[in-house]
Chain A
């Protein structure tokens, strides 16, 4: 029974996210509204973390599986991108690394600098 109420809470918040997505004219998906609402509910103790933890952790563990169907969609757009596969691949590869390195380095630099200042 405990799991059922956990599922219910998580789906209820997903539903509220869906409603907000439909009502508000912003390009923000339901999941992001839901995430923010869930965080607010946890932070204000409206929902205690023990009340959702079990199912939430299971869903997080299964998350990679949820990307399989969309990823397989690669075969559906094959013809459209045939001629631009190389440039697109280069962009994907390079920008991912650039973003990773700049974000990581800048964050690390600021954290270390702040720590030095405090000491």
Chain B
């Protein structure tokens, strides 16, 4: 039985989709941000894997077709961006300065906290690109000599935190302008936050997609200044 589950091409995909549907269902019934479909599905899948003793690598192999669509989907982020391009041109200065501020505050706060916790250079490098999209962060960390596996998890957790918290944080700090909300979400929590921004509104979603690209590229450029600090 275990062999069948481990070598199946469909089992991993099926439990992922069931987990997500379950998450959507729970969210509909109990309207609370904690019941985020992604978080529910992650817990669901981990539970199933542990119960049946399935190795993560087997699950990962079975779900490669889900992951396959991530690049095309990221390419499609150009569509909300294109629809809102007038808005981008009209508010160019605010958008660029806003994202630049976010990127710098991310790098500075990771540095300060890593210093405070006495992290090694390698762990510090591993944490530095935590706010940008998984794909860029992994490539960057690989190049700088950090630990890729940890970076992926940290980036994803950052996305989950952003996805869950963004609505309350924006409300709490009175960030109400749709452009500002979108940029805040995209710069702090990449594509996973953007998924939420798309739900909030079209302008928010577009600005959040824009922020992923711009903050990712700015981080690639600026990270080299910070790597030597610790």
Contact = CB atoms under 8 A, between A and B. Distances in A.
Interface of A: 10-11, 13-14, 17-18, 26-32, 34-39, 42-43, 49, 52-53, 56-57, 59-60, 62-77, 80-81, 84, 87-108, 110-112, 114
B117 A35 contact: no
B147 interface: yes
Given A96-B188, A110-B93, A114-B94, A68 B42 contact: yes
A67 B69 CA distance: 10
A57 B102 CA distance: 28
A49 B159 CA distance: 29
Interface in B127-154: 127, 130-131, 133-136, 139-140, 142-143, 147, 149-150, 152-154
Contacts of A103: 98-99, 101-102, 105, 180, 183-184, 187-188, 211
Q: Please report whether the interface of chain B is mostly helix, strand, loop or mixed according to DSSP.
A: helix
B109 A66 contact: no
A23 B90 CA distance: 35
Nearest to B131: A99
B26 interface: no
Q: Please report whether the interface of chain A is mostly helix, strand, loop or mixed according to DSSP.
A: helix
Given A67-B192, A107-B177, A87 B166 contact: no
B165 interface: yes
Contacts, number: 301
Interface of B: 12, 16-17, 19-20, 37-38, 41-42, 45-46, 49-50, 56-57, 59-60, 63-64, 66-67, 69-83, 85, 91, 93-95, 97-99, 101-102, 105-106, 109-110, 113-114, 117, 119, 123, 127, 130-131, 133-136, 139-140, 142-143, 147, 149-150, 152-154, 156-162, 165-166, 169-170, 173, 175-177, 179-181, 183-185, 187-189, 191-192, 195, 198, 211, 213, 216-217, 220
